[in-house]
Chains A and B, each alone.
Chain A
Amino acid sequence: MYIIITGLLLGGSYALIAMGLNLQYGVARIMNLANGEMLVAGGFVAFWLYTTAELSPFLSIFLLAPVVFALNWLIYRIMLLPLVRRAKTRGQLEVDSILATFGLSFVAVGLMLAVFGGDYFSYSYLARSVPIAGDTFALNRVSAFIGAAILCGLVYLWLNRSRVGLSLRAVAVAPESARLVGIDVAQRSALAFGLGGAITAMGGALVSSYLTLDASTGVIFTLKALIVVIMGGVGDVRGTIVAALMLGILETFVATVIDPGLTLAAAYGLFILILLFRPQGLFGRASA
């Protein structure tokens, strides 16, 4: 029981880290290597608001989301759309977006370094224990998990119930056909990219209440997010959530029962095994 709850809590963090990237890659077709930097930036803003104005990270996400959405929307319109228009094939776009977002991640690290400095930023928020099913858990992790659940649930409902959400899914599945039925693909992609960025930054704000970050740590989260998204299958919210929870539970199981030294090895091992047996990820479409 302890393993399952701790694993779910950890999996919730992974879902927060990866959900935004899934939208950005699944719909807007941009493999965003600057994803982790957006997360760290969100974490820093939460840290700054908490230490200067004592604003809870759970409130600062509401300030953060519109700003980051606008920023990412602009990044897509100004920087990435020309690449999408220029690319003749899917492969060409992949190469170009890897190059461009790799550059973007360097720029982001440089900017954060200039603005925040290179120091670690960490603060103590809700670092209390909360009893669940006879065990104690960290309140900040439990709260972040609830936040993750709400966020993922909203994204899932929105994609599956609303008109805009459906059109996003149409773009994700078949951009060419979506254009034929009158969907403005560029506009929808920008929307998805902006939304993905906003979700990532909100995730950053939530995880900053228990993780210690600095300007250069983004790459760790990018790697994790890529693994989770690919394992779950591109363009499917359920896949990301299931993959994140699987990784969380597996890591906790290995840490508790076998050896904490093998947690990450086990996680990558699982990832590799899943891809070997399901080359499109858990929920991926064969044609993707």
Chain B
Amino acid sequence: MKRRSVLRLGAAALAAPAIIPGRAFANDPIRIGAVAPKTGPLAGGAAVSHWPNIALWSSQVNERGGLNVGGTMRPVEIIEYDDQTNPGETIRAVERLANQDNVDFILAPYGTGLNIAAAPLMDRFGYPQITSTCITDQVVDLSGQFSNMFFLLGGATGLAEGIVSVLAGMRDAGQIGGNVAMVNVADAFGIELAAAGRPALEAAGFNLVYDSSYPLGTQDLSPVMRGAKDAAPDAFIGFSYPPDTFGLTEQAQIEELEVGAFYTAVGASFPAYAGRFGPAVNNILGAGGVNATSEAFQAYAAAHTEVAGQAPDFWASAMMYASLQILEAAIETVGADREAVSAHLKETTFDTVNGPVTFDEHNNNPEYWTVGQWQDGLFRGVASTGREGAVDAVVKDGWT
């Protein structure tokens, strides 16, 4: 019986939107859906890199009167949902945004798994999905299947090869030796990076003296750091997630791990990381990076701090903001037409906080930062696949 009333409700819900799109008078807002974790395991990262940018961008756009769509200034209205870091909820939220809220655009979710879970629906409903936190080596397959899916942040192989090339450069300059200790968190992203890192290290002629993984949620990393230290490496690579990025660094500090290069992955670019370790953070390497001294980034960081009450991180934050800038430029050029926006994305170069972005034939942004390093209070990009403004990596000298 209940099912039948559901059907009727469903029919009503279907009929209703058919009437609404007809009215497009001035200052009619452009409705934009956003779904990402506010709770669950990925909420901590989303609170740093994802949500503040949406608040910043919408306030900036509305402050200047809205998006210029065919001569009419239309404000943006953001409709937010919490997916609780659960792909089932992400999918449900996308369905809700597309069919109930009838939003004009949907921002890409947060994180690799949740983005890929949302991709089939975004594709079916014809929404462009400009991902800024989806790191995968399957870009060709994914964009082949979902032609409206775009990738900004790069792939696991690129990131892993980035740090290896930085280490190789330091070794060739005689700054460090050839022994590397590598650990990774045993979750999808850490596994992918380690799997890409091993052959890259070997190809570059490094000697992998310690190679191990640890489970997500490990509360004591001292045996891991201890094992790494006993192998007497010249460089340390940790393909880690935020809680263990902090944990590994603290253990390295306590054990006084003497390496010329110390690298941790996700979280090393967070302001809270520098806040916690103070001066010890100097010359630590990490995944990502930005052109931190560029005028564009400085202005962005200042606005971010003012609106969101916290500084952006030095990697995904700027890329998330870039994805919004790209969406904004596309809408202002071709209008609030999803198909036209997707087509426009494929053939245009966009000016963003990270410099110009052009998607290749696989909807991938081929030029991204791979490694950054804390230098004098800023996490500055030291290696990239073609970005401007890289600085030289510096040898880490002790933990004080």
- Chain B residue nearest to A106 (CB atoms) is B39
Q: Is the CB of B223 within 8 A of A127?
A: no
Q: Is the CB of B43 within 8 A of A216?
A: yes
Residues of B with C-beta under 8 A to A251: 220
Interface string of B40-83 (1 = CB under 8 A from A): 11011011100100000000000000000000000000000000
Q: How many residues of A contact B (CB 8 A)?
A: 45
Does B138 belong to the interface (CB within 8 Å)? no
Residues of B with C-beta under 8 A to A248: 220
Does A13 belong to the interface (CB within 8 Å)? yes
Q: Which of A6, A9, A212 contacts B243 (CB 8 A)?
A: A212
Q: How far apart sit A57 and B273, CA to CA, in the bound complex (Å)?
A: 20
Most A CB contacts (10 A, CB to CB) among B223, B256, B277 go to B223
Q: Could you tell me which residues of chain B, from 212 to 234, have a CB within 8 Å of some CB in chain A?
A: 212-215, 217-220, 222-224, 226-227
A258 to chain B, nearest CB (A): 10
Known: A10-B220, A127-B253. A120 touches B272 (CB 8 A): yes
B109 to chain A, nearest CB (A): 15
Q: Which of A124, A213, A214 contacts B278 (CB 8 A)?
A: A124
Known: A138-B222, A216-B44. A123 touches B276 (CB 8 A): yes
Q: How far apart sit A3 and B227, CA to CA, in the bound complex (Å)?
A: 12
Q: Is the CB of A119 within 8 A of B47?
A: yes
- Chain B residue nearest to A112 (CB atoms) is B39
Does B270 belong to the interface (CB within 8 Å)? yes
Does B177 belong to the interface (CB within 8 Å)? no
Does A271 belong to the interface (CB within 8 Å)? no
Residues of A with C-beta under 8 A to B44: 118-120, 214, 216-217
Most A CB contacts (10 A, CB to CB) among B46, B51, B213, B215 go to B215
- Chain A residue nearest to B253 (CB atoms) is A127
Which of the candidate stretches B122-130, B141-149, B244-252, B337-345 sits at the interface with the other chain? B244-252
Q: Is the CB of B272 within 8 A of A261?
A: no
Q: Is the CB of B43 within 8 A of A260?
A: no
Most A CB contacts (10 A, CB to CB) among B41, B219, B227, B278 go to B219
Q: Is the CB of B222 within 8 A of A6?
A: yes
Q: Is the CB of A2 within 8 A of B39?
A: no
- Chain B residue nearest to A253 (CB atoms) is B223
Known: A252-B220, A260-B223, A261-B213. A215 touches B39 (CB 8 A): yes
Most B CB contacts (10 A, CB to CB) among A210, A217, A220 go to A210
Q: Is the CB of A129 within 8 A of B43?
A: no
Does A63 belong to the interface (CB within 8 Å)? no
Does B198 belong to the interface (CB within 8 Å)? no
Q: Is the CB of A129 within 8 A of B255?
A: yes
Q: How far apart sit A119 and B48, CA to CA, in the bound complex (Å)?
A: 6
A85 to chain B, nearest CB (A): 33
- Chain B residue nearest to A129 (CB atoms) is B254
Does A184 belong to the interface (CB within 8 Å)? no
B212 to chain A, nearest CB (A): 5
Q: Which of B51, B223, B246 contacts A212 (CB 8 A)?
A: B246
Q: How far apart sit A217 and B219, CA to CA, in the bound complex (Å)?
A: 12
Does B38 belong to the interface (CB within 8 Å)? yes
Residues of B with C-beta under 8 A to A259: 212-213
- Chain B residue nearest to A224 (CB atoms) is B219
Q: Which of A120, A136, A139, A214 contacts B255 (CB 8 A)?
A: A136
- Chain A residue nearest to B85 (CB atoms) is A216
Residues of A with C-beta under 8 A to B183: 260
Q: Is the CB of B250 within 8 A of A6?
A: no
Residues of A with C-beta under 8 A to B224: 255, 260
Does A32 belong to the interface (CB within 8 Å)? no
Interface size range of chain B in the complex: 35 or more
Q: Is the CB of A263 within 8 A of B277?
A: no
Q: Is the CB of B213 within 8 A of A256?
A: no
- Chain B residue nearest to A260 (CB atoms) is B214
Residues of A with C-beta under 8 A to B226: 2, 6, 256
Does B385 belong to the interface (CB within 8 Å)? no
Residues of A with C-beta under 8 A to B335: none
Q: How far apart sit A61 and B186, CA to CA, in the bound complex (Å)?
A: 34
Q: Which of A122, A128, A255 contacts B223 (CB 8 A)?
A: A255
Residues of B with C-beta under 8 A to A141: 220, 222
Q: Is the CB of B227 within 8 A of A260?
A: yes
- Chain B residue nearest to A121 (CB atoms) is B272
Q: Is the CB of B243 within 8 A of A261?
A: no
Does A206 belong to the interface (CB within 8 Å)? no
Q: Which of B41, B220, B256 contacts A216 (CB 8 A)?
A: B41
Does A109 belong to the interface (CB within 8 Å)? yes
Does B179 belong to the interface (CB within 8 Å)? no
Does B310 belong to the interface (CB within 8 Å)? yes
Residues of B with C-beta under 8 A to A127: 250, 253-254
Q: Is the CB of B214 within 8 A of A261?
A: yes
A120 to chain B, nearest CB (A): 4
Does B113 belong to the interface (CB within 8 Å)? no
- Chain A residue nearest to B246 (CB atoms) is A212
Q: How far apart sit A216 and B223, CA to CA, in the bound complex (Å)?
A: 26
Q: How far apart sit A63 and B95, CA to CA, in the bound complex (Å)?
A: 47
Q: How far apart sit A118 and B44, CA to CA, in the bound complex (Å)?
A: 5
Q: Which of B46, B220, B254, B277 contacts A128 (CB 8 A)?
A: B254
B53 to chain A, nearest CB (A): 14
Q: Is the CB of B222 within 8 A of A118?
A: no
Q: Is the CB of A113 within 8 A of B39?
A: yes
Q: How far apart sit A3 and B90, CA to CA, in the bound complex (Å)?
A: 43
Most B CB contacts (10 A, CB to CB) among A124, A136, A217 go to A124
B300 to chain A, nearest CB (A): 19
Q: Is the CB of A212 within 8 A of B247?
A: yes
Q: Is the CB of B43 within 8 A of A214?
A: yes
Does B242 belong to the interface (CB within 8 Å)? yes
B372 to chain A, nearest CB (A): 19
Q: How far apart sit A117 and B309, CA to CA, in the bound complex (Å)?
A: 12
Q: A6-B220, A212-B243, A259-B213 are in contact. List 6 more A-B contacts (CB 8 A).
A: A10-B219, A120-B270, A128-B254, A137-B222, A220-B217, A255-B227
17 of the cross-chain contacts (CB-CB < 8 Å) are: A6-B220, A6-B222, A119-B272, A120-B243, A124-B278, A138-B254, A211-B247, A213-B243, A214-B44, A220-B217, A251-B220, A252-B223, A260-B218, A261-B186, A261-B213, A261-B215, A263-B215
List of 3 A-B pairs having minimum Cβ-Cβ separation, nearest first: A118-B47, A255-B223, A214-B44
